[in-house]
Structure 1
Amino acid sequence: MSWTRSSYAWDAGRSTAIHDALGPLVADIRSLLGAGTGLVVYEPSSGPPLLLASDVTDDSADDPLLPNEPLRLPPGFPHGRLEVLSDLEIHSALRDRVVKLGSAVAVPWRDAFGTGSLVVGNTAGAFAPEAADLRSCRRDAVRRVRAALRGARQAGGTLIENDLNQALRHIAESAASSPDAGTVLASVLVAARNLFDCEVAYLSIPEYDGVTFAFDQVLNIQTPAFRHLRIKHGQGLGGLARELRSSVRSLDYARDPRLRAAPVDETAREGIVSAMAAPLLVDDQIKGVVYVGNRHLKPFTETDETLLAEFAGYSSLGLKRREVDEYRDSVVQRKERERLAHDLHDSVVRGLLRIGFEAEAAQHNCQDDALRRRMAVIGSAAEECMGMLRHHLSVLIGDAEYGQPSTGAEVLGQIASVRRGPGIDRTTELCGPCPDALIPPPAAKALIHVGQEALTNAEIHSGCRRAHTALEIDAESFELRVADDGGGLDPTALDQVLAPTSPHLGFRSMRTAVTRLGGRLTVESGSLGGLQVRAVLPRGRL
């Protein structure tokens, strides 16, 4: 394997060698000729034209073309000869972006892999260098561009090869130290994200029917809807990768015409724009699909696609079919238990919570002592049943969601997974000086419980139309705030809720979850006009 081979015609993986080598050269030549814009356009022997590098000094450069961005060149664009051009327009083939030059000069060159042009010019006003300067510039520019490309391709290819070897070594070490397929697959995700310097990585594995793949392990995925997607054969990017049995890339997922029945809405809500996927083949059977993606536009290239295919192929060598099948079975069983637990929580537990609230209200407003006692018994029975059911649900899922430290985004995602009231707008926010800090399992479980309980209370009883959940992480604590714009409580009622002997079921369970970890729970007027539930857990005691 050698990434210095001829197919390495542009940047890929974490390498920016070509762009970094050509950028200063473009700036130098643009400055020498007195132009405001400089571009290096490359037309490989196969595939669309690409932007390799650019340098712009005009004020209009707030949305520049990206390295590797595919282009549409105008008819009559010069190939093989120097030309002075007017009213030149170079369009992005990826988005609504165009570079317009009122006058420009195109300096062409050829190499073994395609044809390139150095384009320098101005967006407005005349640009007409002296003929002698142009001839001298052409000789100098072509020589320097070719030399820069040769060196950059060699340096970039070496960097990619080193990065790939490092990624595979990470996976091999994980496979050698643990026989568990889940641990090896987790290391595959980490290595893939690092190899391509991407924001997210995730893995899907087959369910029992062998046709439907469900997302299992994820890195930096925030929305429950995306995490719980189930992908059929041929559906979306992963389905296409399975159908073709090869890696595929999508530069703009929402607008990719190749993707059939793609989960565009869920992907958009997760914020993923550009992504790649590759199948993991074990004994010639697809046992998983590994994905990498970004929440910003990233023009993955053919070289990226080839690199991901090699990465997936070598990663599969450390996996054994029996271990992968056993892991798949355990994941499917766990997901079914989790689904059942969530369904019961959203139906039975919420029903018991409503019974308890209504019993409390009736007890508070009733003048008949006997009826008040009966309401107290009903409320107490509802609370007892709710506590027992929650305990059994926790046993049912084996606290699988909390077995490993969680990120703040994962905690917010779990809070948001509780059923939403009709017509209610929810927002979330992860803030503080340490947003990337991992949250220990007990703290994550307590924060999720408080967040879900507070959202449920607000949406059932306050009449709110908005609810905002914020998780702030600093060096000392994890602080969760759930605020709504509902009716709130008058001072007397708020004092009763905050009292240590408060009979309020929801607040009592939240207080218990927080205080047993040495934290504190407060209820106060919120910034949205209703109530704000605030839970603070000290990091030092967890």
Structure 2
Amino acid sequence: MTRSTEGVRADYLWDAGQSRSIAEALDPVLAEIREVLGADAAMVVYRPNPAAGDARVLAASTAREVDPLLPNEPLVFGDVLPRHRPQVLVDLDVASTVRELRLRLHSAVTVPWRDAFGAGTVIVGNLARPLPPASERQLQARCTRRVSAAVRCGRREGGRRMGADLRAALSEVADATASSDDAGSALAAILVSARDLFGSEVAYLSLPEYDTETFTFDQVLGIRTAQFRHLRIDLGQGLGGLARSVQRPVRSLDYASDARLHAAPVAETVREGIVSAMAAPLLLDEQVKAVLYIGDRHLHPFSQTDEDLLGEFAGYATLGLKRRAVEQHRSAVVARQERERLAFAVHDNVVRRLLEIGFEAEAAAQRGDEDLRLRMAVIGSAAEQCMDALRGQLTMLTGEHRPRRAAQVLEEITDVQRATGVRRTSELVGARSDDLVAGAVADALVRIGQEALVNAEIHSGCAHEHVVLDLTAGSAALTVEDDGCGLDADALDRVLVGASPHLGVRGMRATATRAGGHLTVGPSPRGGLALRATIPT
């Protein structure tokens, strides 16, 4: 393998990978050129050796009214760019291949240049007016040496950064692997280090389920939606399935429109907001034991360099993993996920029906004679006791008082079965999605939140429910609002009394009290009710 004097692979150097070092070195040069020539846009594009595929943006400077181009973004041009001499082009079309972005430069000057890694072109132009006379000579004089010098400087700095970042990431993984035989901790360290290495918004890891064909997500960072987190990916399916099939890293700049991806979970990925992603298989004894993903909720033009860097990281990161420990962790993950699926299914069906029985018993007791009232009170009390007992067993089944990430708490709340036609939205305030919530607090928040949502759907006839989880240093506050019919003043007073006859409020208040907190109910700005539970952490 050829190596540069900086100790970084030479084929990493043409674009300096994800470090943006070349763009940072070129930005002031292009800004000055654009100012001197009074141009709307100035860019440097590049094709590495061997010249194949689309040209890539190394850097760009544009006027405010022009859509910005991104480092490493692939472009196509309406005319063939000159290879040997500067040239003036008229009506030059510039288009991105990964998004709806198109420029037409009415007048453009192009200056080609070459180096050891490939061929580049400096392009300066205006959208609607000609460039001033002598622009061609001025641009050639300014960019011949300065552009190539800036690119060399950026490559050196980028190579240095990449080498340092890779060594730091692998050191973190090695420390986690050496200090524990727990495969789950080692895989978590790999996930965090990969996310930090690329500065990505999300990272997630999939493991084989019962066979080697179907993989399911185990650990996730920054993931918000339950639908995405519960995906199962078959061999060859989507980005991760493709990475497993070819047993090397793959990238997708625009996941939703990537024609290479077979049976990809596009709807779930779009709902999660992920636009660009990469996936790399983690190999042990030449077998894929996991798939590592990183991604962003904006267009991130990952390059071949990024793909190679992820592959090198994945290869080194797995050296300390022990096959037996990974298998044991996989078995534990599968068992836990099966328990969670069973618990969620039971809660969505049985607990909800018990809650409805309790509500109906309460309503009938208020209308009937004394004998019927007593019988209905017994039915309602039995339903409430069954719910408490069943919820206790479900908590044990899924891991009693298990700490959860803040995003997972919000996900468990909104995961409860919803009525047809009801829309749910949620937001996390005061914390990152990866911040941990203590087990007892998380249990109380989930129970209160789920019951509040079901209660609103049964009683209010709402069409929209909104959940807010606000975490501070000393407390966790959960607010559930709806746009339903609400309650008049007398009914609200009855709900707010200490010994509320309302089954749902009574249960939620008891849960909050047991956790050391309190519950309030009042009118919602959305027109219905707003329920707020505050629990000390």
Find out whether 1:382 has 2:394 as its counterpart. no
* Matched-pair contact (CA < 8 Å) for 2:336–2:398: yes
Find out whether 1:60 has 2:58 as its counterpart. no
The aligned residue for residue 528 of structure 2 is 530
Residue 385 of structure 1 and its aligned partner are, at CA, apart by 1.1
* Matched-pair contact (CA < 8 Å) for 1:4–1:154: no
Residue 430 of structure 1 and its aligned partner are, at CA, apart by 2.2
Secondary structure of the residue that 1:179 maps to in structure 2? Answer: coil
RMSD: 1.7
User: Given the superposition, is the C-alpha separation of residues 251 and 434 from structure 1 closer, same or farther in structure 2, using an over 3 Å criterion?
Assistant: closer
Q: Which moved more, 1:438-447 or 1:107-116?
A: 438-447
Structure-2 separation of matches of 1:334 and 1:388: 21
* Matched-pair contact (CA < 8 Å) for 2:460–2:485: yes
Residue 410 of structure 1 and its aligned partner are, at CA, apart by 2.5
What is the number of residues matched between the two proteins? Answer: 530
Deviation string, structure 1 residues 392-446 (Cα, Å, up to 9, x no partner): 11111223xx523422x32221111111210111111223488875432222222
Structure-2 separation of matches of 1:405 and 1:388: 22
Q: Letter of the 2:251 partner, please give it.
A: R
Q: Percent identity?
A: 54
Deviation string, structure 1 residues 68-121 (Cα, Å, up to 9, x no partner): 100012233222210111111111011110122111111110112221111112
Q: Which moved more, 1:496-505 or 1:265-274?
A: 496-505
* Matched-pair contact (CA < 8 Å) for 1:200–1:221: yes
Q: Letter of the 1:5 partner, please give it.
A: A
The aligned residue for residue 482 of structure 2 is 484
Structure-2 separation of matches of 1:435 and 1:232: 28
Deviation string, structure 1 residues 125-144 (Cα, Å, up to 9, x no partner): 121332xx643541441211
Q: Letter of the 2:20 partner, please give it.
A: T
**With structure 1 as the length reference, what TM-score do the two structures score?**
0.95
The aligned residue for residue 5 of structure 1 is 10
Residue 343 of structure 1 and its aligned partner are, at CA, apart by 0.6
Q: Letter of the 2:37 partner, please give it.
A: L
Structure-1 separation of matches of 2:59 and 2:138: 22
* Matched-pair contact (CA < 8 Å) for 2:79–2:92: no
Stretches of structure 1 lacking an aligned partner (at least 5 in a row): none
The aligned residue for residue 199 of structure 2 is 197
* Matched-pair contact (CA < 8 Å) for 2:402–2:440: no
Structure-1 separation of matches of 2:233 and 2:94: 38
Structure-2 separation of matches of 1:327 and 1:186: 12
* Matched-pair contact (CA < 8 Å) for 1:39–1:120: yes
Secondary structure of the residue that 2:17 maps to in structure 1? Answer: coil
Structure-2 separation of matches of 1:433 and 1:322: 36
Residue 32 of structure 1 and its aligned partner are, at CA, apart by 2.3
Structure-2 separation of matches of 1:360 and 1:103: 78
Deviation string, structure 1 residues 237-291 (Cα, Å, up to 9, x no partner): 0000000000000000000000010000000110000000000001111110000
Structure-2 separation of matches of 1:115 and 1:83: 16
Secondary structure of the residue that 1:88 maps to in structure 2? Answer: strand
The aligned residue for residue 412 of structure 1 is 410
Find out whether 1:369 has 2:373 as its counterpart. no
The aligned residue for residue 18 of structure 1 is 22
Secondary structure of the residue that 1:468 maps to in structure 2? Answer: strand
Find out whether 1:497 has 2:499 as its counterpart. no
Residue 34 of structure 1 and its aligned partner are, at CA, apart by 2.7
Residue 473 of structure 1 and its aligned partner are, at CA, apart by 3.0
Q: Letter of the 1:483 partner, please give it.
A: E
The aligned residue for residue 430 of structure 1 is 428
Residue 123 of structure 1 and its aligned partner are, at CA, apart by 1.2
Q: Which moved more, 1:142-151 or 1:250-259?
A: 142-151
Find out whether 1:260 has 2:262 as its counterpart. yes
User: Given the superposition, is the C-alpha separation of residues 466 and 386 from structure 1 closer, same or farther in structure 2, using an over 3 Å criterion?
Assistant: same
Q: Letter of the 2:339 partner, please give it.
A: R
Match of 1:277 among 275, 279, 287: 279
The aligned residue for residue 51 of structure 1 is 57
The aligned residue for residue 125 of structure 2 is 121
Structure-2 separation of matches of 1:462 and 1:347: 20
User: Given the superposition, is the C-alpha separation of residues 435 and 342 from structure 1 closer, same or farther in structure 2, using an over 3 Å criterion?
Assistant: closer
* Matched-pair contact (CA < 8 Å) for 1:8–1:157: yes
The aligned residue for residue 507 of structure 1 is 505
* Matched-pair contact (CA < 8 Å) for 1:80–1:110: no
* Matched-pair contact (CA < 8 Å) for 2:217–2:229: yes
Stretches of structure 2 lacking an aligned partner (at least 5 in a row): none
Q: Letter of the 2:429 partner, please give it.
A: C
Find out whether 1:37 has 2:41 as its counterpart. yes
Structure-2 separation of matches of 1:443 and 1:226: 25
Match of 2:443 among 442, 445, 469: 445
Secondary structure of the residue that 1:280 maps to in structure 2? Answer: strand
Structure-1 separation of matches of 2:145 and 2:516: 69
User: Given the superposition, is the C-alpha separation of residues 280 and 153 from structure 1 closer, same or farther in structure 2, using an over 3 Å criterion?
Assistant: same
Q: Which moved more, 1:343-352 or 1:23-32?
A: 23-32
Deviation string, structure 1 residues 464-510 (Cα, Å, up to 9, x no partner): 11111122234443221111111222222222222221233221221
Structure-1 separation of matches of 2:225 and 2:350: 24
Secondary structure of the residue that 1:152 maps to in structure 2? Answer: helix
Q: Which moved more, 1:495-504 or 1:107-116?
A: 495-504
Match of 1:237 among 239, 242, 251: 239
Residue 184 of structure 1 and its aligned partner are, at CA, apart by 0.5
* Matched-pair contact (CA < 8 Å) for 1:435–1:472: no
User: Given the superposition, is the C-alpha separation of residues 179 and 238 from structure 1 closer, same or farther in structure 2, using an over 3 Å criterion?
Assistant: same
Secondary structure of the residue that 1:479 maps to in structure 2? Answer: strand
Structure-2 separation of matches of 1:345 and 1:437: 26
Structure-1 separation of matches of 2:90 and 2:415: 56
Structure-2 separation of matches of 1:36 and 1:52: 18
* Matched-pair contact (CA < 8 Å) for 1:415–1:452: yes
Which structure 2 residues correspond to residues 218-229 of structure 1 after superposition, within 5 A? 218-229=220-231
Q: Which moved more, 1:389-398 or 1:317-326?
A: 389-398
User: Given the superposition, is the C-alpha separation of residues 381 and 263 from structure 1 closer, same or farther in structure 2, using an over 3 Å criterion?
Assistant: same
Q: Letter of the 1:55 partner, please give it.
A: S
Which structure 2 residues correspond to residues 122-137 of structure 1 after superposition, within 5 A? 122-130=126-134, 134-135=136-137, 137=139
